[in-house]
C-alpha cells in the first residue's frame, strides 16, 4: 500500500488560560511538523508519534514530561502509552518519576517485552537496565506548577477541584506510507491527584488505541470518566463499523457525557487518512499535517 502520510497531535482539552494559547499552538505545531518529517522521509507511524510526543513531553507548556502538574504530595508522576496498529503491539508505563520521556520507555517496553505495561519502580528499573538514563525527579518540576500547587495547598487555588482542571495531556496519531497507523498519549495526569493514581492515558483502549483495520485515536480529559467507556477503543470500533472519524469522535464524547457526566477530547485518524478532532471542554490544542505537507494548528473553542 502506498499512502500519503498524515499526522494529528493534541496538547490537551481543558480550559486553557488565554496567555497559554500561543505556547500551546506553537508546541503542537512543532510536534506535528517533526512527526510529519519522519513520515515524509519514509519513517513509520510509530516513529512519527514517538517523535511528536517526545517533543511535547520536552516542552514545559504541557502536562507531560517536564512541566507536568504535581500530585497531592507535590511530585510529578507520569503515565504514557504507545500502540502499533499493524501488529496491535503496545507498551505502557504509569506512575514513573525519574523518566524524561515516558513515551520512549513505553516503546522500549513494547519492543523488548515480554510485558506490555510496567509501573513505578519496576518500570524505572526496566529503563535503567535497558540503558535509559534516570533523571532526578525534580528536573520534571517547573516553577509554574510548583506555584499552582503551593496556592492550592494554601487553599487559594482550585488546582484539584476545578472542572476542566488538567494542564495539557498530549497525544499523536499517524498514518505512514505503508498504510500503518500508530497512536501515543503521555500525561502528568490530574493536578493534585492521589499519589499512585493512574488515569485513562496509559490504559489501552482508554487513553490510546491503534488498529490498521479501524483507526488510531488518542484521548484527553477526565480520566476517571474516559476509562469507564473505553473511549479510544469505542471510537476506533465506530470507525471500523463505517463512521467517519469526526462523527465517531463526536458520538463517543456524547456517550461520555451521557453515561458518566465526564468531559474530554479526542483525535482520530483512519487508514484512508481521514481525521477527526472533537472536544467537550472549553478548549482543545491541536495540530495536523495533511498529505500535501500543510501544517495547521490552533486552539479549538467551544
Ligand atoms: N486524561 C488525563 C488523566 O486523567 C488528564 C488529561 O487528559 O487532561 O490523567
Whole-number mean pLDDT of the chain?
A: 94
Does residue 197 fall inside a structural domain?
yes
Does residue 111 fall inside a structural domain?
yes
Q: Cα(78)–Cα(90) distance, rounded to whole angstroms?
A: 17
**Ligand 1 site, residue 186, Cβ cutoff 6 A:** no
Q: What is the DSSP letter of 165?
A: -
Are 84 and 91 within 8 A, CB to CB? no
Q: Cα(81)–Cα(70) distance, rounded to whole angstroms?
A: 20
The predicted model gives 43-55 an average pLDDT of 98
Residue nearest to atom 6 of ligand 1 (CA): 221
- Nearest alpha carbon to residue 198 among 209, 187, 182, 208: 187
Residue 58, SS3 per DSSP:
helix
Structure confidence at residue 290 (pLDDT): 86
Q: What is the DSSP letter of 204?
A: B
Structure confidence at residue 166 (pLDDT): 64
Write out pLDDT tens, residues 262-301: 999 999 999 999 999 999 999 999 999 988 889 999 999 9
The predicted model gives 3-28 an average pLDDT of 94
Q: Residue 168 sits in which domain range?
A: 6-301
Write out pLDDT tens, residues 195-253: 999 999 999 999 999 999 999 999 999 999 999 999 999 999 999 999 999 999 999 99
Residue nearest to atom 9 of ligand 1 (CA): 189
Q: Is the pLDDT of residue 259 over 70?
A: yes
Does residue 1 fall inside a structural domain?
no
| Segment among 15-24, 76-85, 202-211 with least mean pLDDT | 15-24
Report angle CA 129, 132, 133 to the nearest 5 degrees. Answer: 110
106 Cα to the center of ligand 1, angstroms:
17
The predicted model gives 101-123 an average pLDDT of 97
Does residue 206 fall inside a structural domain?
yes
Total domain count for the chain?
1
**Ligand 1 site, residue 190, Cβ cutoff 6 A:** yes
Structure confidence at residue 151 (pLDDT): 85
Are 54 and 41 within 8 A, CB to CB? no
Query: pLDDT class for 50, splitting at 50, 70, 90?
Result: very high
- Counting Cα atoms < 13 Å in the Cβ hemisphere of 85 gives 35
- Record the cell numbers describing residue 179, joined without a space: 498504510
Are 13 and 265 within 8 A, CB to CB? yes
Query: Which ligand 1 atom sits nearest the alpha carbon of residue 224?
Result: 4
Write out pLDDT tens, residues 142-153: 999 999 899 888
Does residue 254 fall inside a structural domain?
yes
Count other C-beta atoms under 10 Å from residue 35's C-beta: 33
Q: Hey, which of 222, 280, 283 would you mutate to test ligand 1's pocket, going by the most ligand atoms within 8 Å of its Cβ?
A: 222
74 Cα to the center of ligand 1, angstroms:
17
Structure confidence at residue 165 (pLDDT): 64
Does residue 217 fall inside a structural domain?
yes
1 Cα to the center of ligand 1, angstroms:
35
Structure confidence at residue 162 (pLDDT): 56
The predicted model gives 174-203 an average pLDDT of 96
Per-residue DSSP letters for 90-145? EEEEEEESS-S-HHHHHHHHHHH-S-SEEEHHHHHHHHHHTTPPP--GGGG--HHH
CATH number at residue 23: 3.60.20.30
- Nearest alpha carbon to residue 248 among 209, 222, 281: 209
The percentage of residues in the chain with a pLDDT greater than 90, rounded to a whole number, is 89
**Ligand 1 site, residue 218, Cβ cutoff 6 A:** no
CA-to-CA dists, residue 88 to 81, 180, 263, 291, angstroms: 13, 11, 27, 24
Residue nearest to atom 7 of ligand 1 (CA): 220
Structure confidence at residue 154 (pLDDT): 83
Amino acid at each position: 500500500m502506498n499512502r500519503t502520510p498524515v499526522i494529528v497531535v493534541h496538547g490537551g482539552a481543558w480550559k486553557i488560560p488565554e496567555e497559554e494559547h500561543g505556547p500551546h499552538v506553537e508546541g503542537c505545531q512543532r510536534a506535528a511538523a517533526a512527526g510529519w518529517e519522519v513520515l515524509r522521509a519514509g519513517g513509520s507511524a510509530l516513529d512519527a508519534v514517538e517523535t511528536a510526543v517526545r517533543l511535547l513531553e520536552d516542552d514545559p507548556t504541557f502536562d507531560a514530561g517536564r512541566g507536568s502538574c504535581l500530585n497531592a504530595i507535590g511530585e510529578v508522576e507520569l503515565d504514557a502509552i504507545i500502540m502499533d496498529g499493524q501488529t496491535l503491539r503496545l507498551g505502557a508505563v504509569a506512575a514513573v518519576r525519574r523518566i524524561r520521556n515516558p513515551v520512549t520507555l513505553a516503546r522500549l517496553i513494547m519492543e523488548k517485552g515480554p510485558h506490555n505495561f510496567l509501573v513505578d519502580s519496576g518500570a524505572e528499573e526496566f529503563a535503567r537496565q535497558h540503558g535509559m538514563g534516570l533523571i532526578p525527579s525534580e528536573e520534571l518540576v517547573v516553577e509554574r506548577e510548583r506555584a499552582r500547587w503551593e496556592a492550592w495547598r494554601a487553599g487559594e487555588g482550585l488546582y484539584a477541584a476545578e472542572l476542566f482542571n488538567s494542564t495539557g495531556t498530549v497525544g499523536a496519531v499517524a498514518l505512514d506510507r505503508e498504510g500503518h497507523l500508530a497512536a501515543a498519549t503521555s500525561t502528568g495526569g490530574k493536578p493534585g491527584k492521589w499519589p499512585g493514581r493512574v488515569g485513562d492515558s496509559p490504559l489501552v483502549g482508554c487513553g490510546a488505541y491503534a488498529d490498521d483495520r479501524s483507526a488510531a485515536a488518542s484521548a484527553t480529559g477526565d480520566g476517571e470518566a474516559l476509562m469507564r467507556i473505553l473511549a479510544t477503543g469505542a471510537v476506533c470500533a465506530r470507525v471500523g463499523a463505517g463512521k467517519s472519524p469526526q462523527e465517531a469522535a463526536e458520538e463517543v464524547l456524547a456517550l461520555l457525557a451521557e453515561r458518566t457526566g465526564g468531559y474530554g477530547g479526542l483525535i482520530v485518524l483512519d487508514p484512508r487518512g481521514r481525521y477527526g478532532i472533537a472536544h467537550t471542554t472549553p478548549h482543545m490544542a491541536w495540530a495536523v499535517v495533511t498529505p500535501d505537507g500543510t501544517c495547521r494548528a490552533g486552539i479549538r473553542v467551544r
